[in-house]
Each structure stands twice: as C-alpha cells, then as structure tokens.
Structure 1
Amino acid sequence: MRDPRTLGELMRERGVSRRAFLQFAGAMCSAMALPAEAAGPMAEGLARARRQSVIWLSFQECTGCTESFTRSFSPSLEDLIFDFISLDYHHTLQSVSGEAAEAARRQAMKDNAGQYIVVVDGSVPTAAEGVYSVIAGQTNLAMLAETVEHAAAVVAVGTCAAFGGLPEAHPNPTGAVAIDALVKGKPLINIPGCPPMPQAMVGTLTHILSFGQLPELDALKRPRAFFGETIHDRCYRRPFYERGLFAHSFDDEGARQGWCLFELGCKGPVTYNACASQKWNGGVSFPIQSGHGCIGCSEPGFWDRGGLYQPLSAATLRPGQGRAAWLGGAAVAGATLGAGAAALARQRQNATETPAAGAATTD
C-alpha cells in the first residue's frame, strides 16, 4: 500500500531540518532556472506531497541512463529513492527477479492506479510484433502498453526512449521507435541525452512532486529549464568562435589554447542541453571542457546526421532550426562573421542616407 506519510513527515523522522529542506529547494530552483522566490512554494509542495511511486522500464538501451541516474548528487540516488520516491520496479537496481519482480510491478500498478509515474529508457522494437526484445515473456510493446495504461505520466529518459537513438539509426532492423510514437493520451516528458543529465532527471521529478504538474516543455516535449538553450549559448569557448579562432586538430596550437572546436565537428550550435551550465560529475566538467566537441546526443537522429567529426554545414542542418541553424551556418565561414557585421553596418548607413517614404526632398 502507498505510504500515507507526507515527505515533510518523512524528512522530520530522518532528522532533516527545515533549513536543509529549503536549501535543497533553492538548489533545485537554481538548476531549473526558476526564480529564487519559487524555493518556498517548492519546499511547501514537497512537504505536502507523498512519496511518488515510480516504475522504471528498460528496453532497447545500454544501461547508460541508469548509470547517469546513479550519479545524482543533489539529492543523491539514495536520498532520492528512500526519501522522495518509491522506486517500485527497476530492472537494474531491484534486488528481486523473475516472477517476484513482475509481481512487484503489477502490485505497484494496482496500489497506485492513476498516480504512478512510468520512466522508460530505451527504444521499443516494433518489427515482427516486437520479438527483438522480450522481458519475462512479454515483448517491450506489450509491457509498455500494460504499464502505462493507468499511469499519471510517462517520462522518456535518454535519446533512445525520447527519439529512437542508436537502435533507430539506419537501417533500423528491429523497427525501433521512440516512446511517444506508442504512448498516446498521457502526459509525456522527453529527457534526451546519451546519457541524459542526472540533474534533468531529478529536477523533472522534483518539479512534478512539488507543483503537481509537468514543467514547461519545448516543441520536442523536453523541459525548457534544461533544454531551453543550446550548448553554444553557454559555452565558454564561444568568444573564440565569435573571433573566428578554431582548432583544426586535437593536438594543434589552437586546441592547446582552448579555441573553438567547431571545425572538429562540435554540434554545440544546434544542440539543446544544459551540459555547459550544469556540467557532469557533480559540476566538474563537460565534454567540450575536456577537449572533445559536442556530438549532439540530445537531438533527434544524431546518429544519422553525419560524421561526429565533420563540421556542421547547410547539408547537416535541419529546416526550421531557427536561431541554432543561423549560428551553425554562420560558423561554417568562421572569421566571416566580421564580414557580416560590416554588411550590417553598410545597411544601416544606407538607411540613414535614403529618405524615408513620403519625406520631403530637395534638388
């Protein structure tokens, strides 16, 4: 049965002070780009909430999403599981197996009908009626349909679940599809990444617990708090990009000076994620800081968008990418940004020299 105690009651039993609770809420608000004044309502919402039943399904995946989840540091995985959520089923982390594991999943579904959250990592094979991935005698197709039927919401973590990922890459022999291709009529959140950031997973669950609703999402159903800006927007190497200073190999002088990695295939200008601001491993670093360009792993079809070390070009940019496409297109020319600025200056000069429509002129 669902624990009737609130999170506030559980926190007090564990000796967690109100001050510590507010500090946690403040940290979450900061991570999710919420105003500081939201920390109070978030703490109050968490205190009133009950432990959230979570059923985690793993399908066509590499376990990297779970590995990332275990790296959660604020709160830690242990705090999250024992204090905030009830992780009732997880292929990798659960101690039981076989019939006992499936009985636990179905019991959690029954006890929390209409209230539990389903987290899914991995894509779902659909070819040959889904026989390419089977768990406890059930295809992923059947298990997903059964589990989400009475769920309150579905969270697709990792690019395989959100967009199909590597299993869906050409020629896609298993007919792999993303979760939103199969789940209809349910609130759904995509948290892509290969793997996804632990802050994004924990922050999203915290938002749902605190406010009883989904966070603001973008057109691809990603939380804007973590996917509202490109890697390029926050990258500390961007000043070199603006100046047209690019590394041309991983061991040249430009690379040693920390210049922009665009010409080494960095996909930062067209990749929306929080790596550059949140960073990884407790805020220590992120790929670009470690000397490797962004591979665009939180975007749809990143495996099929060209070589990881090929610079972005008009051929690799998708229509409708707006600002990101402009940034990528502009970067192809590198130092020609200066020429663009000069052209803009000429346009402004011409505008001041040309009389406005209807203005008086003299001979």
Structure 2
Amino acid sequence: MNLSADWRTRSLGEDLLAAGFGRRDFLKFCGGLAAVFAVGTPAAAADELTPAAEEIADTLGAVTKPNVVWLQLQECTGCMESVLRSGGTSIEDLVLNKLSVNYNDLVMGPAGAAAEKALEDTNAEPHILVVNGSVPVGADGAYCTIGGKSAEQVLREAAERAEAILAVGACAVYGSVQAARPNPTGAVGVEEIITDKPVINVSGCPPIGEVITATITYLLTHGKPPEVDAEGRPLFAYDQRIHDSCPKRAHFDAGQFVRVFDDEGARNGWCLYEVGCKGPSTFSPCPIIQWNLKSGWPIGAGHPCIGCTEKHFFDRFTPFYEKLPEVRGFGVESTVETVGLTAVGLAAAGVAVHGAATVVRQIGLRRGEEERTIDVAGEAPAASERTED
C-alpha cells in the first residue's frame, strides 16, 4: 500500500508556517501523538520534545493532502461529533483540516448532484476510506439509501480503490445497537461486506476522538495500518482493559462498591462494579485519554462502563446495570471472588497509553440458561480465546 500515491502539492509543514505556527508548537502537538502511540511503555509528557515527537513531526510535516472519503451510513452522527471535539488548539484544527475529506455528506458544503460528483471523483482515485455507521442488508438495502443507492452499494464503490479502510464506531465495526437482536434491518459491520481488504476497527460508541485522528495520523506517518488485536482494533489504543487503568481500581481492590446509585459509596466515588460496570471486560483507553479535551468520561462522571468497545456489547452486556459475575480484588477489605493479582502501571501524562501487566483468569457469565466466558483481567487474549455470541 502506498499512501503517498496521490497527495496534493502543499505540505502540512508549509501550511503551519503560513499560519504562523513555529516548529516547537508543532512538536508539542506531535508529542501528544507520540504518547498515544506508546504501546506498553512509559510515555513522555505530551509537551516533551522527544525523538519520537521529532520523527512524527518530520514525517507528518511533509504530508500533502490525501484523498479521503468519509461515509455516513446507518448511524447517529455521534462518531463524527467525537472527531470534531478531538482537538482544542489551532494546530489540531489545521491538522484536521489538512487531513479533511473530499466527501462527507454530514459536514460538507455541497449537496445533491455536487455532493455525488465529489464522491464519484474521489472514488476514482486512490484514497483513504473512513466509514461511520452499519450496513443494513435487509430488504435489499432499503433501510439506508444515499443518492438512490443502498448503503452496501455506496460502501463497495468507495472501497474499490481505497488504500486503507477504517471502520469507525461500534456501528461500522459490527452493527452496534441496530444489529442487536432481532436486528430488523439486517445491520452488519464493514468487514462483513469488504472481505478482500483489511479493515481497521476503531471501536466504541462513539470512539474517543483522539483515537480516531491518531489512527488516521498513524497511516499518514507510517504509510501502513497500525498493529491490531484479534478484533482488528489498533493495539496502541486497545491493548489494556479499562479496569487496569481505572482511578477507582483501588476501591475495587478494597471491596468498596457503589450498591445503588446515589448511596454513600457513590457520593464517595467508590467502584461501580456492583451497579453493572463492564470495565473488567472492556478494552479501551477511556480512563487515560477521556473525551472532550480530557474533560471527562463515563466512569469519572459516576456512570458504569457499558462495554461499548466490545463486539456485540448490546446483546452481551444488557441489562447494563446488572453486575458481571463476581470478580475479586486483592485488598484487605475485598469480599468477592478472586480474579488474580494485577500490577498496574499508568502514565497519564497528555494522551498517553501505558500497558498494564496482569494475570489472566476467566469467569463464567450466565444469562438465563446460556453460559459463556469472559476474560476479566489481563492482556488481550489471542483470537482463539476471544468469545462471541
């Protein structure tokens, strides 16, 4: 794959210079990206001028505008909302604009025939394809049409000359809520339609904006997709469980739980496991990167994780406020079943992602008469160990 095949003439570095931004400002921005890409190692502060930041700045600064098609299929627009809130300075805005799309029917200015021509022209050239939303295949695709074409046809045409394909959000990854039983529209994920090319799954409902933009930036700076886990998710973002980095982990280990919402434990910020938190079985950097310029995230706001980065989370984890099978911490006050000791390392500077070392145990999950297993603590299991419905 050659992602530089058809990029435009003026580089990002030249655009930054023309906009009045110096090298050091750009290096600070790239330091944040370097922190996101730090897999399993202590990451430097986002404003620290590291060799990794220098390397990203040199490569990204030379990038000229790529062709990008950004499809909005059967979805709620939440993923695009997340992307639009992934940066807080003019540099992020300029980078996002530089990596902006030739076609996105949600936010683009053209409409009607002009929009269709923009899509047709971009599809005819090598491009990066980003997809939000599921693909409804029921009723011959009648549930979602764009310009008189089914979502499946639009996707297939856009994927034909795509050099890289990103399925962004739980809908695009596997269908999400609309694919939940009984799945009336026949919603499926991108990789069930596009089977002849690798698809990078940026999961979440919605994913964190910085994870989306970092994945695109990885493609631009490395010229190839990032390493992925057994479910196609970038390892730099999905290599550890929320439970391993959660600031409430100490309360879990001490057996200090919220029993009902707004009880004394809730007011004291205790662990949300008893009210349904799925953090022990969910892979995501939510505690570290957070949303809306690191201003918050669900558990930080007092709501349990619902496991939205995991495949088929709506069917697997509902009712959301029912607790997982009993999982135990190792504190002196702990009172529930043993999972195993965990050595947790966390570098939370900037948008760092720092791996956690754990001991893996499996527990049984029973819904009525149905029984299956979920990995509760540890590193991502191999493909043969992951379970699906």
TM-score, normalised with respect to structure 2: 0.78
Q: Is the 8 A contact 1:245 1:335 kept in 2?
A: no
The reply to whether residue 94 of structure 1 matches residue 94 of structure 2 is no
**How far is 1:11 from its partner?**
2.2
Partner residue in 2 for 1:137: 148
Partner residue in 2 for 1:49: 63
Matches within 5 A, 1:155-194: 155-194=166-205
Structure-1 separation of matches of 2:86 and 2:267: 32
Q: Is the 8 A contact 1:244 1:337 kept in 2?
A: no
Matches within 5 A, 1:22-41: 22-33=27-38, 36-41=50-55
Q: 1:338 to 1:106 in 2, by over 3 A?
A: closer
Partner residue in 1 for 2:279: 268
* Matching residue's letter, 1:31: V
Matches within 5 A, 1:50-65: 50-65=64-79
Partner residue in 1 for 2:12: 7
RMSD: 2.1
Post-superposition, which runs of at least 4 consecutive aligned residues in structure 1 deviate over 4 A?
74-77, 337-341
Partner residue in 1 for 2:268: 257
Deviations 1:69-104 (A, max 9, x none): 11111566632343x313111111011111110101
* Matching residue's letter, 1:25: C
Partner residue in 2 for 1:316: none
Structure-2 separation of matches of 1:270 and 1:140: 32
Structure-1 separation of matches of 2:157 and 2:27: 38
Secondary structure of the structure 1 residue equivalent to 2:100 = strand
* Matching residue's letter, 1:48: A
Secondary structure of the structure 2 residue equivalent to 1:117 = strand
**How far is 1:338 from its partner?**
7.5
Q: Which has the higher helix share?
A: 1
**How far is 1:185 from its partner?**
2.4
Structure-1 separation of matches of 2:24 and 2:221: 17
**How far is 1:164 from its partner?**
1.3
**How far is 1:2 from its partner?**
5.2
**How far is 1:46 from its partner?**
0.7
**How far is 1:329 from its partner?**
4.0
* Matching residue's letter, 1:56: W
Structure-2 separation of matches of 1:22 and 1:109: 33
Structure-1 separation of matches of 2:295 and 2:121: 40
1:213 aligned residue (197, 217, 224): 224
Q: Is the 8 A contact 2:328 2:339 kept in 1?
A: no
State the structure with bigger RCO (CA 8 A, min sep 6), 1 or 2.
2
Partner residue in 1 for 2:309: 298
Secondary structure of the structure 1 residue equivalent to 2:311 = coil
Deviations 1:317-356 (A, max 9, x none): xxxxxxxxxxx6446x951467988xxxxxxxxxxxxxxx
Q: Which moved further from structure 2: 70-79 or 43-52?
A: 70-79
Partner residue in 1 for 2:322: 310
Structure-2 separation of matches of 1:308 and 1:262: 11
The reply to whether residue 122 of structure 1 matches residue 133 of structure 2 is yes
Q: Is the 8 A contact 1:152 1:187 kept in 2?
A: no
Deviations 1:105-152 (A, max 9, x none): 111223xx23x1111011001112211111100000100000110011
Structure-1 separation of matches of 2:340 and 2:283: 25
Q: Percent identity?
A: 40
Q: 1:297 to 1:202 in 2, by over 3 A?
A: same
Partner residue in 2 for 1:350: none
Secondary structure of the structure 2 residue equivalent to 1:152 = strand
Structure-1 separation of matches of 2:323 and 2:170: 22
The reply to whether residue 16 of structure 1 matches residue 27 of structure 2 is no
Q: Is the 8 A contact 2:328 2:338 kept in 1?
A: no
Structure-2 separation of matches of 1:258 and 1:188: 39
Higher Cα Rg: structure 1 or 2? 1
Partner residue in 1 for 2:299: 288
Q: Is the 8 A contact 1:81 1:87 kept in 2?
A: no
Secondary structure of the structure 2 residue equivalent to 1:308 = coil
* Matching residue's letter, 2:32: A
